[in-house]
Amino acid sequence: MRHLHTTVCLACALSVSAAASAQSTNPVTAGARAQFRAVSDFIVRAAEKVPEDVYAFRPTPEVRTLAQLFGHVADGFMSMCSTAQGEKPPRIGFEKSLTSKGELVKALGEGVQYCNSVFDRMNDVRGVETVPFYFGPTPRVSVLYFATTHAYEHYGNVVTYMRLKNIVPPSSEGAKPTP
């Protein structure tokens, strides 16, 4: 009887472990994707919210205009996600060529869509493979985390620009980012 009890307990433990493992397939990639979705949602919503005339705003002569900042983020999405994927960026040069709100909102959307397609093709096994990057050979998923970090850094700039123009940034509106 004791042997049967031990066997049943072991079977239950293995079932729970297998179920937990199935739910956490690719947890590193899933975590990177969740972080990217949060910041990219904030950035796109900010680009949509800011009026067209504010896109030319530059707080000081030494820094980018808001349009250049959004273009720089879109370039970063394309550049870094293509590096993680191991291919050439599908499009680049937004910061230096686009100035209108419509063009930049579209470019940001394209960058987000491209990065999401890279996440769709990524998993934890592939994510640990190294690719050439700014700091030397870097795991693919680390490049994706860097794209997120870069976006958060510049979202902080966007928030400052918005606050200087008395515009409430999306992350302060109380709504959660799109999952």
- Asked if residue 107 is part of any domain, the answer here is yes
Task: State how far the Cα of 80 lies from the Cα of 86, in Å rounded to an integer.
Answer: 10
- Asked if residue 135 is part of any domain, the answer here is yes
Residue 116 has pLDDT above 60, yes or no: yes
CATH number, domain at 48?
1.20.120.450
- Asked if residue 65 is part of any domain, the answer here is yes
Task: State how far the Cα of 30 lies from the Cα of 121, in Å rounded to an integer.
Answer: 12
- Asked if residue 2 is part of any domain, the answer here is no
- Asked if residue 3 is part of any domain, the answer here is no
Cβ–Cβ under 8 Å, residues 69 and 154: yes
Range of the domain at 139: 27-172
pTM: 0.84
- Asked if residue 113 is part of any domain, the answer here is yes
pLDDT tens track for 147-161: 999 999 999 999 999
Q: Amino acid letter at 7?
A: T
- Asked if residue 18 is part of any domain, the answer here is no
Task: State how far the Cα of 91 lies from the Cα of 37, in Å rounded to an integer.
Answer: 20
Residue 110 pLDDT level (bands cut at 50, 70, 90): very high
Amino acid 19: pLDDT: 38
- Asked if residue 10 is part of any domain, the answer here is no
Number of structural domains, the chain? 1
pLDDT tens track for 30-53: 999 999 999 999 999 999 999 999
